[in-house]
Amino acid sequence: MWCSRARLETCSGIPNGPAMMRPQQCQRVRGSFCGGRRYAHQRAEDVMTFLLSERISNIINDFNSSHANMRREEKRTIVETPYGCEGFIGSEMKKQRESRCTQKTISLLSPLGTIQVSGCENGVHTIQILMDVAPAERSSEAPLSCVVNDSLAETSPELRCCVEWLQAYFSEPQTTGSLPLPAFHHPALQGDAFTSRVLQILLRDVKYGETVSYKRLAEMAGNPRAARAVGGAMRKNPVPLLVPCHRVISSSGQSGPYMSGKGNHLKQWLLTHERQ
């Protein structure tokens, strides 16, 4: 038998929660124990569980909806890229940029082995040292040279400029300081991101025959504690030799890694080449 003395209250544990019956006093009525208190407690637990589950469900739904909207906007949004054409954010931007940029690759036989230079009308994209042979031995009787394997016909002026610079670097390296550099057309060398800033400073301030430590280059870039990040920027360098990441060495004087450690012998060869 229900307690006849019950009053309507709002549960204080739930903001603006529903009113529920809470017995003011439990009494035995006609020999039966009043179940009001037990019922009220069970009812409060049920309401609390319901509200919490609803709240969690709403949070999850809001998050999923927001994430889906961000993905849709990422695919739809069109922006102006550093390449003079429109592209799509994220992977779509990369695909669009590559589809609108007609590249050509020139192969050179250098003292380091085959070097492939890729570029378009706007500038040089990448320089790859294939490491297909061991570096050439130096001899005063046989000067070093760099031979173009492909025809330069229908080659962009920027790509031709890069090839001429590389040829001079191996045959007459002292003259490279007076030669014009080609334009670059790679995202790592565009904008004001840390990697771009470090590479541009390295290109501008560390001259032929000079070296700089990772720590010092970080200081030159405005962040003295970013020596490790400078190493990451060197690994992302798309145009080695032109942007001389081989001139960045450790503070102890050791040459340090080159091409993720696979080209350490090439780095030592280049440093020796520039000291002679």
* CB of 173 closer than 8 Å to CB of 270: no
Nearest to 107 by CA among 92, 126, 122, 79: 126
Q: Nearest Cα to 199, choosing from 238, 251, 255, 250?
A: 238
- What's the half-sphere exposure (Cβ side, CA atoms, 13 Å) at 38? 6
Half-sphere exposure for 149 (CA within 13 Å, toward CB): 11
**Catalytic position from the list 3, 161, 162, 245:** 245
Could you confirm whether 85 is annotated as catalytic? no
DSSP assignment string, 136-161: PPP-SSS----EE-S--TT--HHHHH
Q: How far apart are CA 42 and CA 264, in angstroms?
A: 73
* Contacts for 201 with CB less than 8 Å, ≥ 6 apart: 217, 220, 221
Tell me the catalytic residues. 245
